[in-house]
Structure 1
């Protein structure tokens, strides 16, 4: 299933992309796409609904974040061998965990706003995991049982804030609009191998990232298991899993940074595409 949320900010309706390409309103079936709805019982309730009887939503409406009321927005850094190489970083011995503020979350096609005093804004197409079942101390062999599905995430970053302002990476990751997710959350039954998905990102029509989840250092199951050793995972939590090469900071000899007026397009095989226009703060 491809689950999404449609409507104005703060007034999104839960919806599903039907087989005929129409978007159907799930408001009469579930309250929203998030929390308990993403557990096995909630997803089964949606599967059991008669798609042909659900109201069609009008085309052209805004698509909101595909998951509502995200509790934790967890990120794994330097998780692609080829991306680590382009940045000159050593391959991590264990997954690097940091957090994005949940206030960074926006819809997949909402504008991305460069924050005040930004010097080095950058892009990162990433596969995001959506948790469906509460998880604590999960074994890697069982980890996918706790996953509801997957979505596209653009882990927008400000590298000066992230690496040159002291402290942890979080300050370069959590600005408002730095977390577009969607367009859909695709249930895991439709993603038989999350470690074999093509992914790409373009700026103003020029392709910068063209990679695959094959080059992840720590795969989805390992990531879910590992994070659950340090914090419980709740339904609706998101873990975004790192980016392939081609980010702005990795371009030699002169890095490329986002600027107002840029248009980012990105996507992952089977999970849909995003488009964001970049604006300056206050513009």
Structure 2
């Protein structure tokens, strides 16, 4: 019987691929402090590194919070069915990271993996207006994880070693939207669209970081006007003066219906095409 250095436990984590890009939602079967098994096809060979956006839910003090966490995973084993179809893959954690606040990474390490050692590195942003990244690099070789995962001093990390590989580019727009916090709705404007989230400017209530809200986007679908509702998690809130509009960013939940996410990405494609045409004029 195989004896593992770090025991596995059953754990369901939803995720999707950043690189190679895919709209497929995959789910983990089990995890350990050193690796993970996902049901789904990574569409790469063994030895390659895939980049995933994961979503974890942590319960405590009567509250439930969802944290988006990015990861780099080395594919070490691919399992196939009798007819040769890919069923899933076993991976080794390389790094996990997040932007804005350290909590998603520390919650993932502590609550999901049970990791109690190492340091979370703070990577300074390229510009002062952007939030920092927090990165946990998993040990290699004979190194072991020991005490608690603590934040380190802010550094400018070598890009070839630890720079998070996640596209944060987006399209700057002015798009009227609404958002729902609990049972209350507020008006706002989408000012930046990304493939998996957006930035909102509003004079309404600013939701708490890592709270769950619903984004409501008026759009045309099958020749009629409909409200596209997407569940989202607030990831950052920008500090502003009381007299100015507040801005906050959200990431769309992986629990959203796949067709709704496709509808959003079609909106993104139409906006992108429109801007491309304007540039040519």
TM score, norm. by length of structure 2: 0.29
Which structure is richer in relative contact order (CA contacts within 8 A, separation 6 or more)? 1
Report the structure, 1 or 2, having the larger strand content.
2
TM score, norm. by length of structure 1: 0.28
Report the structure, 1 or 2, having the larger helix content.
1
Higher radius of gyration, 1 or 2: 2
